[in-house]
Amino acid sequence: MMLKSTVFVSQGKLRVTVSNTLINPQTPSVLTKRLKIHRSSIARVLSELKEAGLIKYLTPPTNKFALYGLTKLGKKTHKQIHKLGLFDYLLNENSDQNA
């Protein structure tokens, strides 16, 4: 399960970025502003990560406030991605493409 979740997250730069940011619980609005990514993209990635069991609501979801954080599997996956150097690799790859 851990390998499957690590591969799933690492297949998308936005998944890696959002899951890394969610090491500290965040709302979708904060993610949108902090990462400077369109709200619909954040919503899609949150849905994918939630469906994969990597994140969960930390508060009851309402129209005004929904706090997301990593699940136990999400935290283990986060550690594995950093241990393998995938987060740094994807960040550097993204920087090289923008240069």
- The total domain count for the chain is 1
CATH number at residue 16: 1.10.10.10
Sole residue written with tokens 């619909």:
40
pLDDT of residue 86: 75
pLDDT of residue 3: 83
The identity of residue 41, as a single letter, is: S
User: Which stretches of the chain score pLDDT less than 70?
Assistant: 1, 61, 63, 90-91, 93-99
